[in-house]
Amino acid sequence: MEELFYHEKGLFLQKLHPAASLAYICTLLVLTLIFTNPFYLAGLFFCTGLSVWMLEGLETWELFLKGGLFMTVPIMIINPLVSKAGATILWRGPSLPVFGEITVSMEAVFYGAVMSLRLLDVISIFCLYNIMVHPDKAMNMLERFAFKSALVLSLATRMFPAMIRHLENIKEIQLVRGVDFSGGTFKQKINKYTNLIYILLLSSLEDSMEIAEAMHARAFGSGRRTRYVRDSIKPADSVCLAAAAAALLTGAWGTVKGYGVMNFYPRLGPAYSRGDMRMLALLLSMLSIPSLLSWGWRYCRYFR
């Protein structure tokens, strides 16, 4: 808990300009939220997985997917139970207050399965974000638009591990004094843990005054900020940015033209057509560019 979730490994995708990384991740996320065709969602899952693999994050991805699978259970249950729009009824259940007669249709079951895939996609994209973008880089982007908010976030991010260490010290002192954190009733446990926060809060508030004085001494609030850390945009960043922008525009155009969108109700519409597959292949080739560059960067010296 004292370490950031992000770990610097010096990989190509981690070295990208934050604007390029965020554009790529946002494109994946937007496309996941606009497409309903399971082939498209599976394709995006594959692309995300490819990037995760290039970032050597398969173990982290596994953890995220395990949590995600647990979260798909209510989707698989709620959709069939509340949707009455499906025409192919598989089971008729009792009538419940508020919900009326319970019917489970094949379309609703299929919709629940596709939405579970979408949830796994979304979770995988956030997993990618966690291992790809350093929080400081994201914060540097934010501070141009919202300096004070970025400062609050940076300070709190720095204080969090220090507070955890401080908390451990306080806990040890309490243990030496005979406080048993594992014993007692629920109320007694809450009392013990709250005392920990109380002591921590008092010492941290004192620290905040020192931080404020240090900020004041460095001319905080005296006018506009004059120094920023700038990341330079390299050719590889431009390629990734262009690939993300092209994929986003192609995806948006495709959705308007009816590609990537599947009808579920009242009867399942077709998920497969030649046009759809061509569009999917085009999108996947664009979205795979950062991973291909990463592969090239590792194995081919001409890419460096």
- The DSSP-derived string for 56-122 is T-HHHHHHHHHHHHHHHHHHHHHHHHH----SSEEEEEEEETTTEEEEEEHHHHHHHHHHHHHHHHH
What letter represents residue 256's amino acid? V
Q: Please report whether residue 74 would count as binding other proteins according to CB under 8 A.
A: yes
Q: Please report whether residue 300 would count as binding other proteins according to CB under 8 A.
A: no
Q: Please report whether residue 37 would count as binding other proteins according to CB under 8 A.
A: no
Q: Is 156 left (phi over 0), alpha (psi -120 to 50) or beta?
A: alpha
Using CB under 8 A, pick the residue from 212, 233, 249, 252 that binds other proteins.
212
Residue 128 CA to residue 276 CA, distance in Å, equals 26
Closer residue to other proteins (CB): 32 or 291: 32
Residue 146 CA to residue 138 CA, distance in Å, equals 12
Which are the contacts of 106, defined by CB distance < 8 A and separation ≥ 6?
Answer: 86, 88, 90, 268
Which of the residues 234 through 293 are near other proteins (CB under 8 A)?
Answer: 264-265
Using the contact rule CB under 8 A, the part of the chain among 42-50, 51-59, 111-119, 226-234 near other proteins is 111-119
Q: Please report whether residue 83 would count as binding other proteins according to CB under 8 A.
A: yes
Using CB under 8 A, pick the residue from 91, 193, 253, 272 that binds other proteins.
193
CA–chain centroid gap for 47, Å, is 15
CB 204, min distance to other proteins, A: 5
Q: Please report whether residue 87 would count as binding other proteins according to CB under 8 A.
A: no
Site pattern 119..158 for other proteins (x: CB under 8 A): x--xx--xx-xx----x----------xxxx-xxx-xxx-
Give how many residues touch other proteins by CB under 8 A. Answer: 76
- 32 closest CA partner among 109, 111, 125, 127: 125
Q: Please report whether residue 116 would count as binding other proteins according to CB under 8 A.
A: yes
Using CB under 8 A, pick the residue from 11, 196, 246, 261 that binds other proteins.
196
Using CB under 8 A, pick the residue from 12, 45, 111, 259 that binds other proteins.
111
